[in-house]
């Protein structure tokens, strides 16, 4: 089924930020991380989206995708439920810490997707990952702990080193307690998600960055952090963030991004459903109709899920789940390379 289901709402907003010349990948990596660090120190009120569990992206050549995300590339762990591998088809799940990529198979009416912006990852060994990826991808090393890589489909990943001894999952094994404002915390070098590997941020180029960020704060609370022309809001208490940057309209780039979805969890599920029907586009995605529909509150409650897109971020779908959803805080199997 076609995925072209998100349409732009209303008249495009005027740009509120002066367009700047493109920055280098190194500068983008540094400034995104710095903004996310600043935003993490402002999350004491615990407002915002509660958790970003996974990003769903349609990938191109299946073998190329497996090589990039798993053992030969980034080092994500093959989820036992949908591991991919020779002779398999459909969606693969690539686990990184407590989060996932859901990698959907390209179809004639469901082409590959490219995030218009970048994805920030925390890896257990950034140097080894860069060495693996250099064999078949364009990798730009910024220093011993940071690099940027473009996947075969065209998605940009800024990758960062976490603490050398990330916590492991298992009975009796828990993340260590840290002082969040010292070296292994939010302000230190251990850029991390729940003190380990994970999806630390997703950056989107939009027409109006301030309007995009404010959409999330108006609905979910929290605050907007701004610096160097970027805006940032919370997407989970890991901490995880969404970063927005104003850019000139680009219909081709938006079309490539159309249908990328973020799986997020929210509180006050029914109340948010009612409010978002007025403030955003609510829709049932035909690709996932066998899992959830949300044409009414009753339908949304039956699956504990609804899907929406904000007018200011029109080509990004939010698979929005209640805290009573059976997969909230599910244990994700992950073993670092």
Q: What confidence score (pLDDT) does residue 152 get?
A: 94
- For residue 333, being part of any structural domain is answered with no
Greatest Cα pair distance, the chain, in angstroms, is 54
Q: What confidence score (pLDDT) does residue 89 get?
A: 84
Q: What is the pLDDT of residues 275-293, one digit of tens each?
A: 999 999 999 999 999 999 9
Phi, psi of 132 (to 5 degrees): -65, -45
- Per-residue pLDDT at 19 exceeds 70: no
The enclosing domain of 72 has a CATH number of 3.10.180.10
Instruction: Quote the CA–CA distance of 203 and 281 in Å, as a whole number.
Output: 21
Q: Report whether 201 contacts 161 (CB < 8 A).
A: no
Question: Across 21-145, where does the E strand assignment appear?
Answer: 51-59, 77-78, 92-96, 99-105, 117-123, 138-143
Q: What confidence score (pLDDT) does residue 42 get?
A: 77
Instruction: Quote the CA–CA distance of 25 and 101 in Å, as a whole number.
Output: 23
Q: What confidence score (pLDDT) does residue 299 get?
A: 98
Q: What confidence score (pLDDT) does residue 109 get?
A: 82
Q: Which of 4-13, 194-203, 211-220, 240-249 has the lowest mean pLDDT?
A: 4-13
Token reading at 232: 């940032």
Structural domains in the chain (count): 1
Q: What is the pLDDT of residues 84-115, one digit of tens each?
A: 988 788 899 999 999 999 999 998 888 999 99
From the list 320, 118, 291, the residue with the least C-alpha distance to 203 is: 118
Q: Report whether 129 contacts 157 (CB < 8 A).
A: no
- For residue 329, being part of any structural domain is answered with no
- Per-residue pLDDT at 164 exceeds 80: no
Provide mean pLDDT across the span 110-139: 96
- Per-residue pLDDT at 58 exceeds 90: yes
- For residue 82, being part of any structural domain is answered with yes
Residues 334, 202, 152: CA angle, nearest 5 degrees: 75
Burial class (CB in 10 A: 0-12, 13-18, 19+), 337: middle
- Per-residue pLDDT at 11 exceeds 50: no
- For residue 226, being part of any structural domain is answered with yes
- For residue 330, being part of any structural domain is answered with no
- Per-residue pLDDT at 39 exceeds 60: yes
Residues spanned by the domain of 273: 25-166+177-322
Q: What secondary structure letter does DSSP report for 153?
A: T
H or E element that contains 152: none
- For residue 1, being part of any structural domain is answered with no
Dihedral angle computed from the Cα positions of residues 27, 32, 34 and 40, in that order, rounded to the nearest 10 degrees = 180
Q: What is the pLDDT of residues 214-268, one digit of tens each?
A: 999 999 998 999 998 899 999 998 899 999 999 999 999 999 999 999 999 999 9
- Per-residue pLDDT at 139 exceeds 50: yes
Q: How confident is the model at residue 185 (pLDDT cuts 50, 70, 90)?
A: low
Provide mean pLDDT across the span 21-41: 89
Q: What confidence score (pLDDT) does residue 171 get?
A: 40
Q: What confidence score (pLDDT) does residue 228 get?
A: 85
The larger pLDDT score, comparing residue 178 to residue 64, is at 64
- Per-residue pLDDT at 16 exceeds 50: no
The larger pLDDT score, comparing residue 180 to residue 113, is at 113
- For residue 172, being part of any structural domain is answered with no
Q: What confidence score (pLDDT) does residue 174 get?
A: 52
Instruction: Quote the CA–CA distance of 64 and 83 in Å, as a whole number.
Output: 15
Q: How confident is the model at residue 177 (pLDDT cuts 50, 70, 90)?
A: low
Provide mean pLDDT across the span 3-17: 44
Distances (CA, A) of 171 to 174, 175, 244, 331: 8, 12, 38, 11
Provide mean pLDDT across the span 178-188: 54
- For residue 331, being part of any structural domain is answered with no
Q: What confidence score (pLDDT) does residue 2 get?
A: 45
From the list 154, 117, 147, the residue with the least C-alpha distance to 129 is: 147
Percentage of the residues of the chain whose pLDDT score is greater than 70: 84
């Amino acid at each position: 089924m076609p995925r072209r289901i998100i349409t732009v709402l209303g008249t495009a907003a005027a740009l509120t930020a002066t367009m700047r010349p493109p920055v280098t990948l190194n500068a983008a990596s540094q400034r995104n991380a710095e903004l996310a660090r600043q935003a993490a120190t402002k999350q004491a009120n615990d407002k915002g989206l509660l958790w970003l569990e996974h990003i769903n992206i349609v990938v191109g050549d299946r073998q190329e995708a497996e090589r990039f995300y798993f053992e030969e590339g980034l080092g994500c762990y093959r989820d036992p439920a949908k591991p991919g591998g020779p002779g398999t088809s459909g969606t693969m799940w690539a686990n990184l810490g407590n989060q996932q990529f859901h990698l959907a198979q390209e179809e004639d009416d469901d082409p590959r997707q490219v995030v218009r912006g970048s994805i920030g990852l925390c890896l257990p060994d950034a140097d080894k990952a860069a060495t693996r990826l250099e064999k078949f991808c364009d990798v730009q090393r910024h220093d011993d702990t940071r690099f940027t890589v473009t996947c075969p489909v065209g998605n940009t990943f800024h990758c960062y080193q976490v603490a050398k001894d990330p916590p492991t999952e298992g009975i009796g094994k828990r993340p260590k307690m840290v002082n969040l404002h010292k070296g292994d915390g939010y302000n230190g070098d251990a850029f991390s998600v729940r003190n380990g590997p994970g999806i630390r941020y997703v950056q989107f180029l939009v027409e109006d960055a301030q309007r995009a960020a404010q959409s999330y704060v108006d609905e979910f609370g929290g605050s907007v952090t701004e610096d160097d022309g970027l805006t940032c809001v919370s997407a989970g208490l890991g901490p995880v963030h969404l970063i927005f940057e104003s850019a000139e309209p680009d219909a081709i780039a938006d079309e490539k991004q159309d249908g990328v979805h973020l799986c997020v969890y929210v509180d006050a599920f029914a109340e948010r459903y009612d409010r978002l029907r007025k403030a955003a586009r609510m829709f049932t995605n035909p690709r996932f109709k066998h899992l959830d529909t949300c044409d009414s509150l009753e339908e949304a409650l039956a699956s504990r899920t609804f899907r929406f897109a904000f007018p200011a971020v029109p080509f990004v779908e939010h698979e929005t789940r209640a805290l009573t959803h059976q997969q909230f805080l599910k244990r994700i199997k992950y073993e670092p390379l």
